[in-house]
Amino acid sequence: MTVIDQIESIAQQALKNLYSLDAVGKNILINETKPEFEGDYTIVLFSLVKPLKRSPEIIGKELGDFLINGHPQFFSSYNVIKGFLNLVVAEKVWTNFLFQNFNNENFGNKEKTGRKVMVEYSSPNTNKPLHLGHLRNNFLGWSVAEIYKANGFDIVKTCIANDRGIHICKSMIAWQLFAKGASPQSTGIKGDHFVGDYYVLFGNELKKQVDEMVANGVNKEQAEKEAPLMKAAQQMLIDWEAGKPDVLELWKTMNSWVYAGFDETYKRIGTDFDKIYYESNTYLLGKDLVEYGLKKNVFFQKDDGSVWIDLTKEGLDEKIVRRKDGTAVYITQDIGLAQQKYEQYKCDLSIYVVGDEQNYHFKVLKLICEKLQIPSAENIFHLSYGMVELPSGRMKTREGSVVDADDLLDEMHNEAEKKTKEQGKTEGFSNDELNELYETIGVGGLKFFLLRVDPKKRMLFNPEESIDLHGYTATFIQYAYARLKSILRKEAANVTRSMTDDTENTLFPLEKMLITIAEKYPVIINQACEEMNPSVIANYIYNLAKTFNSFYAEHSVANAESQEKKTLRLQLCNLTAITIRNAMTLLGIKVPERM
C-alpha cells in the first residue's frame, strides 16, 4: 500500500472516530502539498464542511490533532492553511519504505487481476515500408500494452495487416511489367522497400499515361479511370477475389517479401505481437451480422438494395454497411472482426491504437457493435493520437512527404554516434559494444521523444533534440542510470548491509525527495494505465533522473558522513536504478550499464 493510500485509510478511520462520518474516497481529496507550504500531503477540507457543519479551519485543527496524537509513528507534524490540512509524514515511514523495497526487482508491478486486455496497433499496408506515423503507433500501442501488464492485466497484442485491395494490386502490376524477375534477394534491397518502390513506380507510370491521355483530349477524371495501368490493377483485384492461382501466387510471394522487411524493422524497434490478423482472411467477416442486424431492425435497406444504419439520434449520420451489389464495406469487416476477437480471447477491454483521422469511424464501430449486442462492445476503446510532423526538409523521403521508418532509425543511430563521439565517451568499448550503444541511444531517443507527448497532441519531432545529454531526453535518463550502475558496481558489498530499527537516519532534503519520488512509482503506472498515456511515465522518470543528478551533485555516496549514511544512499541508488529501469522498460527503452 502506498503512502497516499495509507493516509486515505487513516483519514477515513479518523473521520469515523471523530465525527461518526463514513467517508468514502470521493469525500476525501488528498494531494501532494504545494512546494511553498510545509508538508508532504494535503487533505482538502472543503467537501467536509457541509456534512460536519464546521468551518474548514476547525475541521483541520481537530483532524490534525487526532492524526498526530493517534498516529505519531506516521505523522510528525501538521499545519492548516485556509481549507487545507498539510501533513508531514514521519521520516521513519520513508526509510522503512526504502529498506523494504531497495532490492525489489519487480518494484511497481501489481498482482494479477484476472482481467484481459487486447491492444491492436501498427496495422500496416503491405505495399510499402513502415513510416514515421507507424513508429508513433507502434511505440504507443506496445507501451500501453506493457503498462496494462505491469498493472496486473493479461495482455493480447494484435495487429491487422492490410494485405488486400487495389493498392496491393498496384505494386503487383508494376512488378509484373517492370521488374524483369528481380527480387529482394537478387537486388539486395530490403523486402518492404523493394515492394514499396514498385508501388511508387506504378504511381509515376500511371501519371505518364494519364498526362498522355489528357494531352490527346481525354477528360482527366476519365483518363484516371481508363488508363491501361489502372484497368490492369482493377482486373488483378477481380482475379484475386476469384482465386486465380497465378495471381494468388504472386500476391503471396510479394507479401512474404514485405513481411520479412517488416520483421526486421519490428525487431529493431522491439515490437512484437501475440496475434496478427490479415485482411485477406477477415474482409468477408460481418456479412452474417448485416443479415442479423436487418432482422433485428438495427439496419435498414434502401430501394437500391444497399444496407445502412441510422445514427442521427446519436448525433452522427447514416452509415452504409453493405453496398447495393452485396459487397461489404470496411466497417462491415471491423464489426465481424470485433466479434471474432471476443470469441477467441474473451477480452474485458479492446483498445484500437489508430490516428485521430479515424475518430468518426470508431465512434460508428462502437455504436454498431453495441446495437448488435456483440459481447463487451461497450468496452471497445479508440486510443486516438495526433500526427507527427518534422522540421521541413530535415529527412529524406521515399514517397512524397512520408518519412521512412528505416531511414529515420538509421539517422538516429548516426546522430547517437556523432553525439557520443563529441562527448568523448567511447573509451573502453569494443566496436561491437559501441555499435550496440549507438543503437540503444538512437532507438531510445526516438521512442522517448514520441512517447513523452500526450498521445492526443500533434507533435514536432527533431532528431538532434532527441539525443541531448542535458535535455528532456532518453539519453539524459540513460546516462543517469549508467552513473547509478557505476556507483553500485564499486560498492556492491555494501548495498545489502542490514539497517537496524534504531539506526540514526535523519534524511537530508534531497535524500527524502528522491525516496518520495520513487515511492510514487506504483501510483504513476496506475495513472498511466487509467489514462492510456505513456507520457505520464516519461515525465515521471525524467523527474526522477533529474532529482538523482541533483542529489549526487550535493551528496557523496562513497565518502558519506557515516557507514549508515553510506548504506542508506547505496540502497537509495539501487531503488532509483530499479525504478528507472522498470519505467523505461514500460516505454520499450533499454538502459545501458555503461555509457
Instruction: Please state the three-class secondary structure of 236-298 as a single string.
Output: HHHHHHCCCHHHHHHHHHHHHHHHHHHHHHHHHHCCCCCEEEEHHHHCCCCHHHHHHHHHCCC
Q: What is the pLDDT of residue 397?
A: 41
Name the pLDDT band for 25 (thresholds 50, 70, 90).
low
pLDDT tens digit sequence for 446-485: 999 999 999 999 988 887 788 887 889 999 999 999 999 9
Q: What is the pLDDT of residue 401?
A: 57
Residues pairing with 155 in the sheet:
117
Name the nearest CA neighbour of 194 among 256, 251, 253, 258: 258
pTM here? 0.93
Percent of the chain with pLDDT over 90: 86
Name the nearest CA neighbour of 532 among 365, 377, 381: 381
> By the 8 A CB rule, do 118 and 144 touch?
no
Query: CA Rg, the chain, in Å?
Result: 30
Name the pLDDT band for 396 (thresholds 50, 70, 90).
very low
550: cell is 541533483
Name the pLDDT band for 38 (thresholds 50, 70, 90).
very high
pLDDT tens digit sequence for 544-578: 999 999 999 999 999 999 999 999 999 999 999 99
Residues pairing with 278 in the sheet:
161
State the DSSP H helix or E strand holding residue 309, giving kind and residue range, or none if neither: strand 307-310
pLDDT tens digit sequence for 119-173: 999 999 999 999 999 999 999 999 999 999 999 999 999 999 999 999 999 999 9
> Do you know the residue count of the chain?
595
pLDDT tens digit sequence for 64-74: 999 999 999 99
Name the pLDDT band for 399 (thresholds 50, 70, 90).
very low
Q: What is the pLDDT of residue 499?
A: 64
Burial track 541-573 (b if 16+ CB lie within 10 A, e otherwise): bbebbebbeebbeebebeeeeeeebbbbbbbbb
Name the pLDDT band for 504 (thresholds 50, 70, 90).
low
Structural domains for the chain: 3-89 (3.30.1360.70), 178-277 (no CATH), 405-586 (1.10.730.10)
pLDDT tens digit sequence for 538-549: 999 999 999 999
Question: Helix or strand or coil: residue 354?
Answer: strand
Instruction: Please state the three-class secondary structure of 177-209 as a single string.
Output: HHCCCCCHHHHCCCHHHHHHHHHHHHHHHHHHH
Cα separation, 527 vs 414, whole angstroms: 35
Cα separation, 53 vs 349, whole angstroms: 43
Mean pLDDT score of the chain, rounded to an integer? 93
Cα separation, 518 vs 427, whole angstroms: 32
* Mean pLDDT to the nearest integer, 245-272: 97
Q: What is the pLDDT of residue 457?
A: 93
> By the 8 A CB rule, do 475 and 516 touch?
no
* Mean pLDDT to the nearest integer, 509-537: 97
Q: What is the pLDDT of residue 393?
A: 47
* Mean pLDDT to the nearest integer, 331-346: 96
> By the 8 A CB rule, do 403 and 393 touch?
no
